[in-house]
Protein backbone atom coordinates (compact mmCIF):
# COMPACT_ATOMS: atom_id res chain seq x y z
CA UNK A 1 0.00 0.00 0.00
CA UNK A 2 1.42 3.41 -0.94
CA UNK A 3 1.61 6.18 1.65
CA UNK A 4 -1.20 8.09 -0.12
CA UNK A 5 -3.44 5.04 -0.16
CA UNK A 6 -2.71 4.34 3.51
CA UNK A 7 -3.52 7.97 4.38
CA UNK A 8 -6.74 7.88 2.34
CA UNK A 9 -7.70 4.60 3.98
CA UNK A 10 -7.06 6.09 7.42
CA UNK A 11 -9.15 9.19 6.64
CA UNK A 12 -12.01 6.97 5.47
CA UNK A 13 -11.82 4.95 8.67
CA UNK A 14 -11.81 8.14 10.72
CA UNK A 15 -14.89 9.40 8.88
CA UNK A 16 -16.57 6.05 9.47
CA UNK A 17 -15.80 6.39 13.17
CA UNK A 18 -17.30 9.89 13.28
CA UNK A 19 -20.42 8.68 11.44
CA UNK A 20 -20.93 5.92 14.00
CA UNK A 21 -20.45 8.37 16.89
CA UNK A 22 -23.08 10.66 15.36
CA UNK A 23 -25.40 7.68 14.95
CA UNK A 24 -24.91 6.72 18.60
CA UNK A 25 -25.46 10.34 19.65
CA UNK A 26 -28.70 10.47 17.65
CA UNK A 27 -29.87 7.25 19.26
CA UNK A 28 -29.03 8.45 22.78
CA UNK A 29 -30.77 11.77 22.12
CA UNK A 30 -33.87 10.00 20.76
CA UNK A 31 -34.09 7.81 23.84
CA UNK A 32 -33.86 10.84 26.16
CA UNK A 33 -36.64 12.46 24.10
CA UNK A 34 -38.81 9.33 24.37
CA UNK A 35 -38.27 9.00 28.13
CA UNK A 36 -39.22 12.63 28.81
CA UNK A 37 -42.20 12.43 26.41
CA UNK A 38 -43.31 9.23 28.13
CA UNK A 39 -43.15 11.03 31.48
CA UNK A 40 -45.14 14.05 30.28
CA UNK A 41 -47.85 12.04 28.47
CA UNK A 42 -47.84 9.24 31.10
CA UNK A 43 -47.36 6.78 28.24
CA UNK A 44 -46.26 3.57 29.96
CA UNK A 45 -45.74 1.74 26.64
CA UNK A 46 -43.27 4.38 25.50
CA UNK A 47 -41.60 4.37 28.93
CA UNK A 48 -41.24 0.58 28.85
CA UNK A 49 -39.69 0.78 25.38
CA UNK A 50 -36.92 3.01 26.75
CA UNK A 51 -36.47 0.84 29.85
CA UNK A 52 -36.01 -2.35 27.84
CA UNK A 53 -34.19 -1.24 24.69
CA UNK A 54 -30.62 -0.35 25.64
CA UNK A 55 -28.86 -3.07 23.58
CA UNK A 56 -28.34 -1.08 20.39
CA UNK A 57 -26.44 1.67 22.24
CA UNK A 58 -24.37 -0.90 24.13
CA UNK A 59 -23.51 -2.68 20.88
CA UNK A 60 -22.50 0.60 19.25
CA UNK A 61 -20.40 1.43 22.32
CA UNK A 62 -18.39 -1.79 21.91
CA UNK A 63 -18.14 -1.40 18.14
CA UNK A 64 -16.87 2.20 18.37
CA UNK A 65 -14.35 1.27 21.05
CA UNK A 66 -13.11 -1.47 18.72
CA UNK A 67 -12.81 0.97 15.81
CA UNK A 68 -10.73 3.33 17.97
CA UNK A 69 -8.37 0.53 19.00
CA UNK A 70 -7.95 -0.64 15.42
CA UNK A 71 -7.20 2.89 14.22
CA UNK A 72 -4.64 3.40 17.00
CA UNK A 73 -3.01 0.00 16.48
CA UNK A 74 -2.92 -0.23 12.70
CA UNK A 75 -2.26 3.38 11.73
CA UNK A 76 -0.30 4.63 14.74
CA UNK A 77 -1.62 8.15 14.19
CA UNK A 78 0.18 11.27 15.38
CA UNK A 79 -0.80 14.77 16.53
CA UNK A 80 -4.29 15.82 15.34
CA UNK A 81 -5.41 12.34 14.35
CA UNK A 82 -4.24 10.85 17.63
CA UNK A 83 -6.09 13.49 19.61
CA UNK A 84 -9.25 12.94 17.55
CA UNK A 85 -9.24 9.22 18.27
CA UNK A 86 -8.58 9.63 22.00
CA UNK A 87 -11.42 12.19 22.05
CA UNK A 88 -13.62 9.61 20.28
CA UNK A 89 -12.86 7.05 23.01
CA UNK A 90 -13.99 9.54 25.65
CA UNK A 91 -17.06 10.73 23.72
CA UNK A 92 -18.11 7.13 23.22
CA UNK A 93 -18.07 6.62 27.01
CA UNK A 94 -20.10 9.79 27.55
CA UNK A 95 -22.75 8.72 25.02
CA UNK A 96 -23.09 5.30 26.61
CA UNK A 97 -23.75 6.98 29.98
CA UNK A 98 -26.37 9.21 28.35
CA UNK A 99 -28.07 6.00 27.21
CA UNK A 100 -28.00 4.76 30.82
CA UNK A 101 -29.47 8.06 32.01
CA UNK A 102 -32.37 7.73 29.52
CA UNK A 103 -33.12 4.40 31.21
CA UNK A 104 -32.91 6.06 34.64
CA UNK A 105 -35.37 8.76 33.51
CA UNK A 106 -37.73 6.06 32.22
CA UNK A 107 -37.52 4.21 35.56
CA UNK A 108 -38.43 7.37 37.50
CA UNK A 109 -41.20 8.11 34.94
CA UNK A 110 -42.60 4.60 35.43
CA UNK A 111 -42.85 5.13 39.20
CA UNK A 112 -44.30 8.63 38.66
CA UNK A 113 -47.25 7.18 36.68
CA UNK A 114 -48.30 5.30 39.83
CA UNK A 115 -49.17 8.61 41.52
CA UNK A 116 -51.39 11.57 40.76
CA UNK A 117 -49.44 14.27 38.85
CA UNK A 118 -47.75 16.72 41.22
CA UNK A 119 -47.48 19.67 38.86
CA UNK A 120 -47.60 20.72 35.22
CA UNK A 121 -44.50 19.45 33.49
CA UNK A 122 -43.23 22.45 31.57
CA UNK A 123 -39.73 23.06 32.93
CA UNK A 124 -38.70 19.39 32.82
CA UNK A 125 -39.45 18.99 29.07
CA UNK A 126 -37.61 22.30 28.62
CA UNK A 127 -34.61 20.82 30.43
CA UNK A 128 -34.92 17.79 28.14
CA UNK A 129 -34.85 20.02 25.04
CA UNK A 130 -31.78 21.91 26.26
CA UNK A 131 -29.93 18.70 27.18
CA UNK A 132 -30.68 17.17 23.76
CA UNK A 133 -29.61 20.32 21.91
CA UNK A 134 -26.38 20.41 23.96
CA UNK A 135 -25.62 16.81 22.99
CA UNK A 136 -26.30 17.52 19.32
CA UNK A 137 -24.16 20.68 19.31
CA UNK A 138 -21.34 18.98 21.21
CA UNK A 139 -21.18 16.19 18.61
CA UNK A 140 -21.40 18.69 15.75
CA UNK A 141 -18.55 20.67 17.30
CA UNK A 142 -16.50 17.46 17.36
CA UNK A 143 -17.10 16.59 13.72
CA UNK A 144 -16.58 20.19 12.54
CA UNK A 145 -13.74 20.86 15.01
CA UNK A 146 -15.71 23.98 15.92
CA UNK A 147 -14.53 25.37 19.28
CA UNK A 148 -16.99 28.27 19.01
CA UNK A 149 -19.89 25.84 19.04
CA UNK A 150 -18.20 23.85 21.83
CA UNK A 151 -18.05 27.02 23.94
CA UNK A 152 -21.78 27.60 23.30
CA UNK A 153 -22.44 24.16 24.77
CA UNK A 154 -20.56 25.14 27.94
CA UNK A 155 -22.74 28.26 28.29
CA UNK A 156 -25.98 26.30 27.86
CA UNK A 157 -25.03 24.23 30.89
CA UNK A 158 -25.71 27.21 33.16
CA UNK A 159 -29.30 27.42 31.87
CA UNK A 160 -29.79 23.76 32.66
CA UNK A 161 -28.42 24.20 36.18
CA UNK A 162 -30.69 27.19 36.79
CA UNK A 163 -33.75 25.21 35.67
CA UNK A 164 -32.76 22.29 37.87
CA UNK A 165 -32.56 24.60 40.92
CA UNK A 166 -35.94 26.15 40.02
CA UNK A 167 -37.59 22.72 39.65
CA UNK A 168 -36.09 21.64 42.96
CA UNK A 169 -37.39 24.69 44.87
CA UNK A 170 -40.88 24.33 43.43
CA UNK A 171 -41.07 20.62 44.25
CA UNK A 172 -39.75 21.18 47.76
CA UNK A 173 -42.71 23.52 48.40
CA UNK A 174 -45.15 20.80 47.31
CA UNK A 175 -43.43 18.21 49.50
CA UNK A 176 -43.50 20.46 52.57
CA UNK A 177 -47.21 21.28 52.04
CA UNK A 178 -48.53 17.83 51.24
CA UNK A 179 -46.84 14.53 52.22
CA UNK A 180 -48.76 12.66 49.49
CA UNK A 181 -46.58 14.49 46.93
CA UNK A 182 -43.29 13.39 48.53
CA UNK A 183 -42.80 10.21 46.49
CA UNK A 184 -43.76 11.52 43.03
CA UNK A 185 -41.96 14.83 43.68
CA UNK A 186 -38.78 12.88 44.53
CA UNK A 187 -39.01 11.16 41.15
CA UNK A 188 -39.31 14.50 39.35
CA UNK A 189 -36.27 15.77 41.27
CA UNK A 190 -34.39 12.67 40.12
CA UNK A 191 -35.46 13.21 36.50
CA UNK A 192 -34.24 16.82 36.60
CA UNK A 193 -30.90 15.61 38.01
CA UNK A 194 -30.59 12.96 35.29
CA UNK A 195 -31.20 15.66 32.66
CA UNK A 196 -28.60 17.87 34.31
CA UNK A 197 -26.12 14.98 34.11
CA UNK A 198 -26.87 14.56 30.40
CA UNK A 199 -25.91 18.22 30.08
CA UNK A 200 -22.71 17.42 32.01
CA UNK A 201 -21.85 14.70 29.49
CA UNK A 202 -22.43 17.15 26.62
CA UNK A 203 -20.14 19.55 28.51
CA UNK A 204 -17.46 16.83 28.79
CA UNK A 205 -17.66 16.28 25.04
CA UNK A 206 -17.38 20.02 24.35
CA UNK A 207 -14.35 20.25 26.67
CA UNK A 208 -12.71 17.33 24.84
CA UNK A 209 -13.28 19.14 21.54
CA UNK A 210 -11.72 22.34 22.87
CA UNK A 211 -8.73 20.39 24.17
CA UNK A 212 -8.43 18.46 20.95
CA UNK A 213 -8.40 21.61 18.80
CA UNK A 214 -6.54 24.01 21.11
CA UNK A 215 -3.82 21.50 22.01
CA UNK A 216 -3.24 21.39 18.25
CA UNK A 217 -2.77 25.16 18.18
CA UNK A 218 -0.46 25.19 21.17
CA UNK A 219 1.75 22.46 19.75
CA UNK A 220 1.61 23.93 16.30
CA UNK A 221 3.50 26.96 17.54
CA UNK A 222 6.17 24.95 19.35
CA UNK A 223 8.72 22.49 17.99
CA UNK A 224 7.08 19.58 19.78
CA UNK A 225 8.20 16.12 18.63
CA UNK A 226 4.54 15.10 18.78
CA UNK A 227 3.78 16.80 15.44
CA UNK A 228 2.85 14.30 12.73
Instruction: Note whether 12 binds a second copy by CB under 8 A.
Output: no
Instruction: Note whether 103 binds a second copy by CB under 8 A.
Output: no
- Of 41 and 165, nearer to a second copy (C-beta) is 165
Instruction: Note whether 176 binds a second copy by CB under 8 A.
Output: yes
Instruction: Note whether 114 binds a second copy by CB under 8 A.
Output: no
Q: Which of 125, 128, 91, 102 is nearest to 203 (CA)?
A: 91
Give the binding range for a second copy (CB under 8 A) out of 121-129, 136-144, 159-167, 177-185.
Answer: 177-185
Instruction: Note whether 179 binds a second copy by CB under 8 A.
Output: yes
Q: What is the 3-state secondary structure (H, E, C) of the chain?
A: CCHHHHHHHHHHHHHHHHHHHHHHHHHHHHHHHHHHHHHHHCCHHHHHHHHHCCHHHHHHHHHHHHHHHHHHHHHCCCHHHHHHHHHHHHHHHHHHHHHHHHHHHHHHHHHHCCCCCCCCCCHHHHHHHHHHHHHHHHHHHHHHCCHHHHHHHHHHHHHHHHHHHHHHHHHHHHHHHCHHHHHHHHHHHHHHHHHHHHHHHHHHHHHHHHHHHHHHHHHHCCCCCCCC
Instruction: Note whether 73 binds a second copy by CB under 8 A.
Output: yes
- Give the Cα separation of 118 and 42 in Å (integer): 13
- Of 82 and 154, nearer to a second copy (C-beta) is 82
CA 48 to chain centre: 21
CB atoms within 10 A of CB 197: 19
Instruction: Note whether 69 binds a second copy by CB under 8 A.
Output: yes
Instruction: Note whether 216 binds a second copy by CB under 8 A.
Output: no
Instruction: Note whether 201 binds a second copy by CB under 8 A.
Output: no
CA atoms within 13 A on the CB side of 220: 7
**One residue of 40, 89, 103, 133 binding a second copy per CB under 8 A:** 89
Give the binding range for a second copy (CB under 8 A) out of 35-43, 79-87, 117-125, 148-156.
Answer: 79-87
**One residue of 22, 72, 133, 210 binding a second copy per CB under 8 A:** 72
Instruction: Note whether 20 binds a second copy by CB under 8 A.
Output: no
Instruction: Note whether 58 binds a second copy by CB under 8 A.
Output: no
Give the binding range for a second copy (CB under 8 A) out of 24-32, 45-53, 63-71, 114-122.
Answer: 63-71
Instruction: Note whether 86 binds a second copy by CB under 8 A.
Output: yes
Site residues (vs a second copy, CB under 8 A): 68-70, 72-74, 76, 78-79, 82-83, 86, 89-90, 93, 172, 175-177, 179, 182-183, 186, 189, 204, 225-226, 228
Amino acid sequence: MTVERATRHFQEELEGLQARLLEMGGLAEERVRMAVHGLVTRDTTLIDTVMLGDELINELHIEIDGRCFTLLALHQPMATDLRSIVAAVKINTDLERVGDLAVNIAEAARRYTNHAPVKKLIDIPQMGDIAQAMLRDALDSFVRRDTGLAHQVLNEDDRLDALKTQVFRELLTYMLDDPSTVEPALDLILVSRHLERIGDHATNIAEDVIFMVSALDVRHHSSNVDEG
